[in-house]
Amino acid sequence: YCSAPPVSAEVTFVPFPWYKAFHRSQHSFDIGDHPVKPVHSLLKIAVAWTQLSAGTSVSFLEDVDTPLPHLEVKWLPSLRSYLKHIHGYFELDETFVQPLQRLDDSYIMDHIINSQRFSPSKLHLLNCCRKYLQVTTISDITLPDGIRLEPNFELGNHSPTSPKCGLHWFYQERPPDDAWKLWQRANCLWSDEHGTLTTPLGAWLFPPSQQRMKWPFYYDSVTDSLYAHDEGSNYRSYFVNPNRQTQTPINSFVLDSLPDTASPVTVSQIQDRWQHDQAILPILQQPPLQ
């Protein structure tokens, strides 16, 4: 919905059907009422991808005052500039803002933008790093213990031990080395020189099936089982002994889905077995409303 009143017809850079809607007699409109449904769908797709590119905690059409020079699309930022000009904004029924994943989680681009330490060109490079890693919030780049940054992501690398995003994402080539030096500077906004978060993360807000990132290992304290990613969406289950080590692989079996009580965990190799970290954070039964 548009919070601003209709305006004159002099403005020509707002694309159809937004431009047409500004000339209605009412002060609000629903973009879903366009008679051509494919137009409605394409608008929602465009807004969703632009919001994913923005990486912020508030819809880019609701907060029109915060500069977002890292957005690469043209016409939606043009609309955003127009809304700022008329002191208006949109309240969307679906904002496409990615949800926080853990208690005390926060948005990477919010930290970077609010720091005011980076020029528009550097913001663009940092966002390219973020899109290459396919991450949105601090929890996406943090180990399951909620304390330390994922070391491969710090260096701008994907690894078999790193989490993988389960969303459709942009195709982003790996930025140059200078961009990753900038990324490491940005990491200092939320962690110290050792990669320890200044604000540790708390419990998970969603079960594995609803989490944005897919981790190579999960642990379920209810069944005392460790789940290791196998192939596709399958996980292999291992029973864990009192020393937090897996039993022999002979006792393992494959699951096509994880139990809701399982949480991501970091493991280390000990001879022919895995041992998981002791810090296992639970999943909240009722995530707080955002």
- Classify residue 271: in a domain, yes or no: yes
Residue 256's pLDDT is what?
78
DSSP state of 251: G
Task: Verify that 178 and 115 share a domain, yes or no.
Answer: yes
Instruction: Give 27's contacts (C-beta < 8 A, 6+ positions apart).
Output: 2, 3, 4, 5, 6
Task: Verify that 62 and 120 share a domain, yes or no.
Answer: no
Mean pLDDT taken over the chain: 82
Of residues 45 and 277, which shows the higher confidence score?
Answer: 45
Of residues 28 and 4, which shows the higher confidence score?
Answer: 28
Q: Evaluate if residue 73 carries a pLDDT over 50.
A: yes
Instruction: Please state the rounded mean pLDDT for residues 66-83.
Output: 89
Task: Verify that 156 and 114 share a domain, yes or no.
Answer: yes
Question: Residue 187: pLDDT band by 50, 70, 90 thresholds?
Answer: very high
Q: Evaluate if residue 12 carries a pLDDT over 80.
A: no
What's the pTM value of the predicted model, to 2 decimals? 0.82
How many domains does the structure of the chain reveal?
A: 3
End position of a domain, from candidates 85, 119, 141? 85
Residue 39's pLDDT is what?
57
Q: Evaluate if residue 60 carries a pLDDT over 90.
A: yes
For 149, the domain range is 108-187
Question: Residue 182: pLDDT band by 50, 70, 90 thresholds?
Answer: very high
List, for residues 273-288, the tens digit of each pLDDT value: 677 776 566 676 655 5
Instruction: Give 129's contacts (C-beta < 8 A, 6+ positions apart).
Output: 156, 175, 179, 180, 182, 183
- Of the segments 101-115, 165-179, 259-273, which one has the largest average pLDDT value? 101-115
Percent of the chain topping pLDDT 90? 54
List, for residues 218-242, the tens digit of each pLDDT value: 988 888 888 888 877 788 888 777 6
Task: Verify that 176 and 215 share a domain, yes or no.
Answer: no
Instruction: Please state the rounded mean pLDDT for residues 161-167.
Output: 92
Q: Evaluate if residue 169 carries a pLDDT over 80.
A: yes
Task: Verify that 117 and 181 share a domain, yes or no.
Answer: yes
Instruction: Please state the rounded mean pLDDT for residues 198-219.
Output: 93
Task: Verify that 72 and 114 share a domain, yes or no.
Answer: no
Q: Evaluate if residue 200 carries a pLDDT over 60.
A: yes
In the numeric block, which tokens belong to residue 142?
Answer: 């943090």
**CB-CB neighbours of 14 under 10 Å:** 18
- Classify residue 221: in a domain, yes or no: yes
Alpha carbons 140 and 153: distance in angstroms, whole number: 9
- Classify residue 197: in a domain, yes or no: no
- Classify residue 240: in a domain, yes or no: yes
- Classify residue 200: in a domain, yes or no: no
Q: Which residues pair with 219 in a beta bridge?
A: 226, 263
Q: Evaluate if residue 151 carries a pLDDT over 90.
A: yes
Q: Evaluate if residue 23 carries a pLDDT over 60.
A: no
